[in-house]
Amino acid sequence: MPNRFITSISYIIIAIAAIAQSEMPDSIKTQELNEVVVEARTQRVIERGVEYTPTKKIKKAAIDATQLLELMNVPQLDITPGSMSVKTYAGKDVGMFIDYKEATAEDLQGLRPEDVLRVEVLQYPEDPRFGGQANVVNFIMRKYEWGGYTKLTAIGNTLNLDRGEGILYSKFVKGNWTLDANATGSITHNVNSRGYNVESFRDIRIGNNHYDEVVRTTQSGDNYLRQSNTQSVSFRASYETKTTEIIHSVSYNRTGNPFTRNLSEVSYSEDALPASSALSNESGQTISPRLHGYYYFALPMDNSLIASWSFSYGSTRRNSSYRLGELTPIINNNKETSYAPVVTIQYSKKFSHNNTFRTSLLSYNTIYRTHYEGSFNGLQKLLSSENMLFLEYMQNWQSGLSLYSRVGVSYVIGRLNGVNTLEQWNPRLGLQLQYNINDKNSASIEGWWGNNHPTPSSSNSAIVQSDELLWLQGNPELRNTTFTTASASYTYMPTNKLNLSATGEFHGYLNKTAHDYFSLAGYDGLIRKEINNGDFFDFSGYISATVKLFNNSLSLRTSGRISHLKSTGFDNQSMNIFTANIQVNYYIRNFSFILYYQTPYKNIDPFDNGIRNHYKSTYGILANYSVGDFKLGLQFRNWFNKYKYFYDFDSERYSSHGWQWVSDLARSVQLTLSYTLPYGKKVKRNNEIQTSIESNSAILK
């Protein structure tokens, strides 16, 4: 039924695309001279991407940067309404920039949409300030000689979980200096986390007894409670001239989980263990201050130099206990400190034949010290280090053809308790060709080869107990997963009212990771360890289309994905996937509305160790109201959804299936209030008119 619905909507969009050609012009500026209409382009193909000019009604309705992209209905992007997640419509990560400076989440929330002149959606951009990122969104802003604004935002969420968040962002510009400050705090109270899980443990020992199979059934969530809170503050000072940018920032983040309680009912197919209630308690805290510096110099003769550094400190404390009936509680207490220095240097030279050479040196290092107490006692000292050297060459021809190529090498070190467990050189290769046929058509092909190295939490040697029948073991012998990708894309934008994008992709992951289940003397049940085993292949096609009607008051977007996924090794399996999305935007006076729907879908992931996931449909409506500098947003999501996502996994010694409550799939209401107080602003002349890292944790859990 959903497929028929999607197909019908697709036919409607294609049909009204023809009508769109005769609608009134959707433009920033329209002039009538002797019955000749001159329409400014609000979307056009540019070098290495597409440029969009948001209309006044869209900027007036949007609360922050991410919502501005939602309301623009950019077909190259996939954004879940009401979230801060921005990806390409093919699911790739996107680097977010504001005036060529990498933007934090606080920058995106604090952005004033009315100051946005244009939005660039780029692939492999040539400008060195983008740091060689593959996919980029860059907001081009009005420039101020002096002045700024303070923005207050309050967000409340209920039904799925009770959550309140307050955000204070302030920006001030005077001459070449820009000062930014941000303070954010949130508190969450959640009583919803139901679940049902059936596990089969085969060929195991419990005490002195052997069992061919024990089935463990768990039903949880009737007495669940989780409380958490976050606080973050940051300050940044920037100095900018035509040839220099110097940025220094300091930030502090804290996440607290003072209490989590989960009561479950557990039963067994055999009498080895009693059917009883299982009580889990957990508490924890993470603090992470960070210092950062960035320096950009545009040198004579089209040379440029960029250097950046950061240092992060992390302190994590986690205490958990699990008790089945009257059995001895399982205790896992961890205390971890981490130190993460990062240094990057980049040199770029642009030559006279519209070609550019760039070299980059990057060093990422994290040192972990993790103390375990309880089911495992000991100290794990882990070093995770990756140093990379890249050489990049870019060429642009007058025919509209452009080349991006990159060759490099990375040196990866994994060291556990003073002993090198991983030491490997890995080449990296990449090539992209893009052809801008004109300002309405572009096409590209690309291919990449490289590797992913193991995560810190899976690379230690600890063995911790998860429950009465399952233990988790790290694996210092994990090796890199090699990836190969190839894709071809096409974009067509005949008018301001129609935008089409299509992509075909192949992803191959060789020597991927999988979960191995086995028995070990002295341990009841099974031990789960992550190992390198088998390969994963993904053949996918994506398509996305946007139509704008009635002077841009109505916008319709539909996108779809069809994939064939194949995994070998322990989790030998295959899966065919089809999913589709529809989004409708409508603007009337001071109101804007977004309606969205995504079909049910299933998925397996190359880094999810063979688990098959099945998701229900998601849908909702987001309504905004704006008057002056005050804005209000109200979102209703998944009103009739039963909050479940389903999963299953099967192997020789262990299998499981069941369902779990997920807040993103549950019924929810979210209210957002925003007020911006501008003060003393003066826009630079000729600029007021629109023209065409965070470290992971090494704790095993």
| Domain harbouring 394, CATH code | 2.40.170.20
- Bigger pLDDT: 480 vs 345: 345
Tell me 364's DSSP state: E
pLDDT of residue 683: 62
User: Does residue 166 form part of some domain?
Assistant: yes
Separation CA 602–CA 307 (nearest Å) = 43
End-to-end CA distance of the chain: give it in Å, rounded.
41
Label residue 505 by pLDDT band (50, 70, 90).
Answer: very high
Q: Indicate the helix (H) or strand (E) that contains 222.
A: none
CB 575 within 8 A of CB 604: yes
Say how many residues make up the chain: 701
- The confidence band for 91, taking pLDDT boundaries of 50, 70 and 90, is confident
Q: Got the DSSP string for 110-123?
A: H--GGGEEEEEEEE
Q: Which of 698, 700, 695, 701 is nearest to 313 (CA)?
A: 695
644 confidence band (pLDDT: 50, 70, 90): confident
Separation between Cα atoms, residue 458 and residue 476, nearest integer Å: 8
Q: Could you list the residue range(s) of the whole structural domain that residue 558 is in? A: 2-269+291-324+355-376+383-423+430-683
pLDDT, average across residues 166-182: 94
Q: What is the mean pLDDT of the chain?
A: 88
Strands (E) located in 269-396: 276-299, 303-324, 330-350, 355-374, 378-396
* Number of domains into which the chain is organized: 1
CA distance 72 to 58: 7
Query: For residue 26, what pLDDT band results from cuts at 50, 70 and 90?
Result: very low
| CA–CA gap between residue 400 and residue 573 (Å, rounded) | 43
Position 642 scores a pLDDT of 67
Q: What pLDDT shows up at residue 126? A: 87
What one-letter code names the amino acid at 453?
H
The two tokens of residue 73 are 């209905």
- Asked if residue 36 has pLDDT above 50, the reply is no
Question: What are the Cα distances from residue 219, in Å, to 223, 263, 279, 647, 661?
Answer: 11, 9, 12, 15, 12
Please name the residue that has the structure tokens 């949409």.
113
d(CA 207, CA 266) in angstroms, rounded, equals 19
In this predicted model, which residue has the larger pLDDT, 104 or 45? 104
Q: List helix spans (H) across 487-613.
A: none
Helix (H) or strand (E) holding 10: helix 2-20
**Range of weakest confidence among 30-34, 554-558, 649-653:** 30-34
Are the C-beta atoms of 612 and 602 separated by less than 8 Å?
yes
Q: How sure is the predictor about 692, in pLDDT bands with cuts at 50, 70 and 90?
A: very low
- For 309-336, letters b (16+ CB in 10 Å) and e give ebebebebbbbbebbbeeeeebebbbbb
341 within a domain of the structure (yes/no): no
Whether 200 has a pLDDT exceeding 70, the answer reads yes
The more confident residue out of 495 and 32 is 495
pLDDT, greater one: 424 or 215: 215
CA nearest to 586, candidates 15, 6, 70 = 70
What is the arithmetic mean of pLDDT over 630-645? 88
Q: pLDDT grade, residue 33 (50/70/90)?
A: very low
In a domain, 137, yes or no: yes
* pLDDT tens column, 516-554: 999 999 899 999 999 999 999 999 999 999 998 888 889
* Residue 11 confidence (pLDDT) above 60: no
Q: What is the pLDDT of residue 533?
A: 93
* C-alpha–C-alpha distance, residues 648 and 405, integer Å: 41
pLDDT surpasses 90 at 622 = yes
Residue 19, pLDDT > 50, answer no
Instruction: Let me know if residue 593 belongs to a domain.
Output: yes
pLDDT of the residue at 439: 82
Distance CA 224, CA 126 (A): 51
Tens of pLDDT, residue by residue over 226-250, are 999 999 999 999 999 999 999 999 9
The contacts of residue 201 (CB under 8 Å, 6+ apart) are: 211, 213, 214, 215, 216, 469, 470, 525, 526, 653, 654
Q: Is residue 46 part of a domain?
A: yes
48: left (phi over 0), alpha (psi -120 to 50) or beta: left
Buried b (16+ CB within 10 A) or exposed e, 644-683: bbebebebebbbbebbbbbbebbbbebebebebeeeeeee
Q: What pLDDT does residue 451 have? A: 87
- Residue 595 tokens read as 């309606």
Closest by CA to 373, choosing from 318, 333, 329, 317, is 333
Q: Are strands 162-174 and 177-190 parallel, antiparallel or unpaired?
A: antiparallel
Average pLDDT over residues 317-327: 90
The fraction of the chain above a pLDDT of 90, given in percent, is 63
**Total Cβ atoms within 10 A of residue 89:** 22
The residues, ordered by sequence, that sit 6+ positions from 443 with a Cβ below 8 Å of its Cβ are 434, 435, 437, 488, 489, 490, 491
Helix (H, G, I), strand (E, B) or coil at 104: coil
pLDDT category, 115, cuts 50, 70, 90? Answer: very high
Query: Who contacts 555 (Cβ-Cβ below 8 Å, separation ≥6)?
Result: 73, 546, 547, 548, 549, 584, 585, 586
**What number of CA atoms fall less than 13 Å from residue 480's CA on the CB side?**
21
**Model confidence over 126-149: pLDDT tens digits?**
889 998 888 999 999 988 888 899
The answer to whether residue 30 scores a pLDDT higher than 50 is no
Region of residue 468 (phi > 0: left; psi between -120 and 50: alpha; otherwise: beta):
alpha
pLDDT for residue 362: 95
- pLDDT one-digit tens code per residue, 250-307: 999 999 999 899 999 999 987 878 888 989 999 999 999 999 999 999 999 999 999 9
State yes or no: pLDDT of 21 exceeds 50.
no
Provide the 10 A C-beta neighbour count for residue 303.
12
Q: Does residue 330 lie in a domain region?
A: no
pLDDT for the residue numbered 12: 40
- Per DSSP, what are the bridge partners of residue 73? none
Contact criterion met (CB below 8 Å) for 228 and 257: yes
Residue 278 lies in a domain: no
Cβ neighbour number for residue 60 with a 10 Å cutoff:
19
Residue 280 covered by a domain: no
d(Cα 489, Cα 89) in Å, to the nearest integer? 11
- Residue 327: pLDDT band (50, 70, 90) is confident
Lowest mean pLDDT among 501-505, 530-534, 599-603, 663-667: 663-667
Q: Rounded to 5 degrees, what angle do the CA atoms 81, 115, 497 make?
A: 55
| pLDDT confidence of residue 15 | 42
Query: Which class for 505: exposed (0-12), middle (13-18), buried (19 or more C-beta within 10 A)?
Result: buried
Residue 684 has pLDDT above 90, yes or no: no
Q: Residue 20 has what pLDDT?
A: 39
